[in-house]
Amino acid sequence: MNGSRQGESPSLVEVTGLCVEFGGLRAVDQLSFRLEGGAALALVGESGSGKSTVAAALLGLHRGTGARVGGSVQVAGIDVQRASDDELRRLRGGGAAMVFQDPLSSLDPYYAIGDQIAEVYRVHARGSRRAARARAVEVLDRVGIPDARRRSRSRPHEFSGGMRQRALIAMALACEPDLLIADEPTTALDVTVQAQILDLLHALREETGMGLLLVTHDVGVAAESVDEVLVMRHGRTVEHGPVGAVLGAPAQSYTRELLDAVPRVDAPRAPSAPAGEVVLEATGLRREFGRGKRAFAAVDDVSLTIRRGETLGVVGESGSGKTTLGRMLVGLLQPTAGEIKPGGGVRPEVQMVFQDPVSSLNPRRSVGESIADPLRARGEPDEGRVRGRVRELLERVGLEAAHYDRYPHEFSGGQRQRVGIARALAADPRVIVCDEPVSALDVTTQAQVVALLGELQRELGLALVFVAHDLAVVRQASDRVAVMRRGRIVESGPADEVYDNPQDPYTQQLLAAVPALDPGLAARRRAARREPAMV
């Protein structure tokens, strides 16, 4: 089934003048690129840049959806625009296979993983059920699923996130495609698992010689994985070239801007003012969830101090208990054991900035009303004073005073996060706990919000607790760092010490897994990772 297309077209992928429109909205505009067999190209861009739309267009997934597609797309010798439905079906999975972002929702929850892979295999290679099942076990084994025969009978929810993504990659491998399209394949995964998946993709490419088209918002992931980069913005090409050249010496100002905004895990934070007195001290914090046999401690024996004018970074992977810790610090959750003491007698005002800028504002109330909440709740009777203070706060966080009467849906994600910061400030807090404050934002917006928090801290002498999964962002924002794993703090200390000279093996492993922006360094790190066996 792969034979006929050799010689017809020298390139594996050839896209010329691709345009995709959804109901008058142009998502992709005059995009052209080519990808040779066995090569790897990354489409990099922020949300709304149209990169995923391009990936879908390569497999003709817009057919019959009402989207208007123009230009020409050739994949593995097939003209996707003109191909018949049957030809297109043979291309999908047979010639080019796709790996999606969220591995849990991308697999059918009701069927065994092996059966799902076998089903796809049988669409393309008309073998027996038994042969298809054997092939499924074979590819599951190849992507590193231990005990593949037995695990092939598991359903997706019985797999961990990383294993699911491996299973999806196994599905892609099943029919030996010439091209692998990976749409944000590691975005939903923890950093250590991300490194494993990227290593796997690399090894598979070496072994099978298939081409890779990687779609990602993360420049680091691109640097790790590909030979060529195409930077996209508003559906158009900004810059296209070898990965070393584009990332090392970007020619376009947007590319430079993007690269500057990417937080570096190896760059120390600009020195901040010396920390002041202790404002909050937590000792032996523990929080359990569930009862009886299913009880587990999300946070277990955590002690920390928070000082005036200082940022404490709390970093950990999913399930490490960092969010639970943050919620206990502000008083949204009561600790099962341990206590939180004020540094100087009275309990300081502690406020929170939330992760999701969509759900953290009541959609039915104007942002001004939301910000005014703490003022009204403490009984400020003078309406004029309330409005005046809210306007002042809006301007302080970089919005306009006239935004008082607007509703949350009229703002972008970054602006909403600014509103959330203004609301926290309205209570005149001495401590603000920021729970993943920038993880839902694009990198350029991320950098702006982190900078704003820093400014406010210097100006108001705030103590900040910065909770995040992204090691680089935490370093950018923090003076001191605590690394959490399974509810405990495994290592803590000044940020530079922890990052430059990690003592705990888990911290070392975390830091080794962070994608490097320099492709050469990335390759050296990959080689180093290959030696010790990963968990």
Partner 1 sequence: MSEALVATQAAGTGPALPAASGARQFWRRLWTQRAALVAAAVVALLVLLALAAPLLTAIEGQDPTTYHPSLVDSARGGVPVGPFGGVSGDHWLGVEPQTGRDLFARLVYGARVSLGVALTATAVQVLIGVVVGVAAALGSQWVDQVLSRLTDIIVALPLMIMALALLAIVPSNFPRPLLVALVIGLVAWGNIAKITRAQTLTLKGLDYVSAARLSGWSTWRIARRELLPGLAAPVITYAALLVPINITVEAALSFLGVGVKPPTPSWGQMLTAADVWYQAAPQYLLLPAGALFVTVLALTVLGDGVRTALDPRAASRLRVGTGRRQEAKATAPVATEGAS
Partner 2 sequence: MTRLAGFVLRRAAGALITLFAISVIVYVVFYVTPGNVAQITCGPRCSPAQVHQVAEQLHLHDPLYERYWHFLQGLVVGQDYSTGTSVEHCPAPCLGLSYQSDQQVTRLILTKLPVSLSLVFGAMVLWLVLGVGTGVLSAWRRGRLTERLLTGITLAGVATPVFVIGLVLMIVVCGELELLPFPQYVAFTDDPEQWAWNLLLPWFSLALIEAAAFARLTRAAMLETLAEDHIRTFRAYGVGERSVIGRHALRGAFAPVIALNANNFGGAVGGAVLTETLFGLPGIGQELVHAVNVVDLPVVVGMVLVIGFFVVIANAVADVLYAVADRRVVLT
- Positions touching partner 2 (CB under 8 A) are 59, 61, 88-94, 97-98, 100, 102, 105-111, 119-120, 123-124, 155, 157, 168, 171
SS3 state at 183: strand
Q: Identify which of residues 91 and 328 has a Cβ nearer to partner 2 in the complex.
A: 91
Q: What is the dihedral sign for C-alpha 520, 521, 522, 527?
A: positive
Minimum Å distance from CB 251 to partner 2? 34
Bridging pattern class, strands 311-316 and 480-485: parallel
Q: Identify which of residues 159 and 354 has a Cβ nearer to partner 1 in the complex.
A: 354
Decide if residue 36 touches partner 1 (CB under 8 A): no
Question: 213-235: buried (b, 16+ CB within 10 Å) or exposed (e) per residue?
Answer: bbbbbbbbbbbbbbbbbbbbbeb
Minimum Å distance from CB 96 to partner 2? 9
DSSP bridge pairs for 316: 484
Minimum Å distance from CB 172 to partner 2? 8
Answer whether 97's CB lies under 8 Å from 183's CB: no
Selection from partner 2, partner 1, none that 93 binds (CB < 5 to 8 A by kind) is partner 2
Q: Which of 106, 196, 415, 509 binds partner 1 (CB under 8 A)?
A: 415
Selection from partner 2, partner 1, none that 362 binds (CB < 5 to 8 A by kind) is partner 1
Minimum Å distance from CB 215 to partner 2? 13
Strands (E), 203-277: 211-216, 228-233, 236-242
x/- string (CB under 8 A) for partner 1, residues 163-202?
---------------------x--xx-x------------
By CB under 8 A, the residues from 303 to 322 that bind partner 1 are: 317-322
Minimum Å distance from CB 424 to partner 1? 8
Selection from partner 1, partner 2, none that 34 binds (CB < 5 to 8 A by kind) is none
Start-end of H helices in 59-211: 85-90, 113-124, 129-142, 148-151, 161-173, 191-208
Distances (CA, A) of 486 to 204, 337, 444, 471: 32, 17, 31, 17
Minimum Å distance from CB 124 to partner 2? 7
User: Does an H or E element contain 98, and which?
Assistant: strand 96-99
**Crossing angle of the two packed helices 161-173 and 113-124, in degrees rounded to 10:** 20
Task: State how far the Cα of 254 lies from the Cα of 259, in Å rounded to an integer.
Answer: 9
By CB under 8 A, the residues from 439 to 478 that bind partner 1 are: 439-442, 445, 469
Selection from partner 1, partner 2, none that 297 binds (CB < 5 to 8 A by kind) is none
Segment contacting partner 1 by CB under 8 A, of 56-64, 82-90, 136-144, 199-207: 56-64
Minimum Å distance from CB 370 to partner 2? 32
Minimum Å distance from CB 258 to partner 1? 13
Q: Identify which of residues 153 and 341 has a Cβ nearer to partner 2 in the complex.
A: 153
CA dihedral 486, 489, 491, 496 (to 10 degrees): 110
Answer whether 124's CB lies under 8 Å from 175's CB: yes
Decide if residue 51 touches partner 1 (CB under 8 A): yes
- The full 3-state SS of 300-345, as one line of letters, equals EEEEEEEECCCEEEEEECCCCCHHHHHHHHHCCCCCCEEEEEECCC
- The full 3-state SS of 345-402, as one line of letters, equals CCCCCEEEECCCCCCCCCCCCCHHHHHHHHHHHCCCCCHHHHHHHHHHHHHHCCCCHH
Task: State how far the Cα of 95 lies from the Cα of 180, in Å rounded to an integer.
Answer: 9
Q: Identify which of residues 41 and 175 has a Cβ nearer to partner 2 in the complex.
A: 175
φ, ψ at 513 (rounded to 5°): -85, -15
Based on DSSP, count helices (H) and strands (E) in the chain, helices before strands. 19, 19
Minimum Å distance from CB 206 to partner 2? 24
Selection from partner 1, partner 2, none that 222 binds (CB < 5 to 8 A by kind) is none
By CB under 8 A, the residues from 320 to 359 that bind partner 1 are: 320-324, 327, 330-332, 351-352, 354-359
Selection from partner 2, partner 1, none that 97 binds (CB < 5 to 8 A by kind) is partner 2
Decide if residue 217 touches partner 1 (CB under 8 A): yes
Q: Which of 47, 253, 503, 508 binds partner 1 (CB under 8 A)?
A: 47
Selection from partner 1, partner 2, none that 346 binds (CB < 5 to 8 A by kind) is none
Selection from partner 1, partner 2, none that 90 binds (CB < 5 to 8 A by kind) is partner 2
For tokens 């924002």, name the residue. 477
Distances (CA, A) of 445 to 27, 165, 276, 448: 21, 28, 29, 5
Q: Identify which of residues 39 and 361 has a Cβ nearer to partner 1 in the complex.
A: 361
How many chain residues interact with partner 1 (CB under 8 A)?
74
Residue 188 gets the label, from left (phi > 0), alpha (psi -120 to 50) or beta, of: alpha
By CB under 8 A, the residues from 357 to 376 that bind partner 1 are: 357-364, 370, 373-374
Q: Identify which of residues 108 and 339 has a Cβ nearer to partner 2 in the complex.
A: 108
Q: Which of 68, 126, 153, 378 binds partner 1 (CB under 8 A)?
A: 378
Selection from partner 1, partner 2, none that 105 binds (CB < 5 to 8 A by kind) is partner 2
